[in-house]
Structure 1
Amino acid sequence: MMSDQGIRWQRAQELMRENALDIETMAACLGIDESKLTAMLADTPKRKIPDSLAQLMEQTFSKPQGWLDQGEDGGISYDLFGA
């Protein structure tokens, strides 16, 4: 199963694709430093996406609260092994 940060990273990438944004433009939309966002959204992220930024992304791009933390299945997890 993917980590919460892995899901957030995937969803943030999805937002950029949906809105045809690069990291520079997304940083401008969110009003945050481009280098900080790059550290979170690069192919090998060096920083986690904090809760506050996840909420800001959801609000800015009109996604429901908690959207960034839901996997492709809508957040339903069938974890048979407790991993």
Structure 2
Amino acid sequence: MMTDQDVRWHRAQELLLENALDVATMAACLGQDEKRLEAMIGVKPTRKMPDSVAELMEQTFSKPKGWMDQADDGGITFDLFGG
């Protein structure tokens, strides 16, 4: 099962693809430090994305509030063991 941070990471990857951005360009768009953002949304993230950055991404890229925390599957989980 994906964690909240996994969902945010995947959403950030969607934004990078949708807007044809690399992390450095996204950092510039968001007014964030490139190394700090790379640590949150890079290939091997080492930092959690705080709510403030998730909200900033939503605002900057015209996504609805809470979009960064919504999994692509629409909330459907395929848990075969009912855990």
Normalising by structure 1, we get a TM-score of 0.91
Which residue in the other structure is 1:10 paired with? 10
Number of corresponding residues: 81
TM superposition outliers: structure 1 runs of 4+ over 4 Å = none
C-alpha RMSD of matched pairs (Å): 1.2
* Identity across matched positions, percent: 63
Which structure 2 residues correspond to residues 1-80 of structure 1 after superposition, within 5 A?
A: 1-74=1-74, 76-78=75-77
CA distance in 2, matches of 1:7, 1:78: 13
Runs of 5+ unmatched residues, structure 2:
none
Output the TM-score relative to the length of structure 2.
Answer: 0.91
C-alpha deviations, 1:1-30, integer Å up to 9, x for none?
A: 100000000000000000000000000000
Query: In the aligned structure 2, how far is the partner of 1:25 from the partner of 1:13?
Result: 13
